[in-house]
Structure 1
Amino acid sequence: MEIELLHNYKPSQDEDYMNPMQLEYFKRKLLSMQSLLTKQTENKISTVLDYKDRDKDIIDMASREHEIGIELETSKRSLESIKKINNALKKIDSGQYGYCEGTGEEIGIERLEIDPLALYCIEEQERQEQLSNK
């Protein structure tokens, strides 16, 4: 079932949490992020492949090797983000999106607006960070 959103729709705390409109809003937001990251990654890979056939000056080659390393590292991060987006999209489909993985509590609209990939509510995120710092 296709949900039609108004152009200027923004989720509100006054609505039922993770109602169909909110889920569609976040789904579209995630798909947009996914599309942008995919295009950026494809461009970076294309750039890396273009470096292969450039001139053979040793200094230029060393510089290019460094640039390729940076491009590959950013591509790796982008691919990790795409995996997280795919997981969030699966959660939308299963009805689990927007709920803390640690407590089952609502993550909150404001937090998801800032970070649509958030896995934890603020309290659980702080607890996770304290545990990892020990």
Structure 2
Amino acid sequence: MTDDVDKIMAVMTTAFDPVYGEAWNRRQVEDALKLGNCHYSLVEAHGHEPAEGESAAGFFLSRTGYEEEELLLLAVDPQYRTQGLGRCLLEKLRIGATSRGALRLLLEMRRGNPAETLYRNFGFYSIGERREYYRTANGDRLDAITFACDIR
């Protein structure tokens, strides 16, 4: 698992703008994966699982709850964006979540996140918002939007 966490951290470093503070640190990722109800998937540049020693182009991290799976993080290295890897990761999430008994997927993101188009095209729809929920590095407050996607 250490190799996989290294791959997750490498993608996270390139994918998340530090202004928004969305990236997790290594300890947060490792602790989540120890819980037993958190799952992840890695993809290389062509959408397949990376071979041992091969770098990842993207990943997701999710948490299973009763009949729901929450997408905690999804990231694609900027050099591999617009090649369908985000959708590939969402499909892997859907398949895994369905096998774990989930009826729907949930996620929360900051308003204005460019990934919103990806999520809406996959079938996510807004179910709520939290005003001024996130704080940027410079202190600005941003709204959070909660999305759901029915998978059964």
Please give the TM-score of this superposition, normalised by the length of structure 2: 0.24
Q: Who wins on radius of gyration, i.e. which is larger?
A: 1
- Structure showing the higher strand proportion among its residues: 2
- Structure showing the higher helix proportion among its residues: 1
Please give the TM-score of this superposition, normalised by the length of structure 1: 0.25
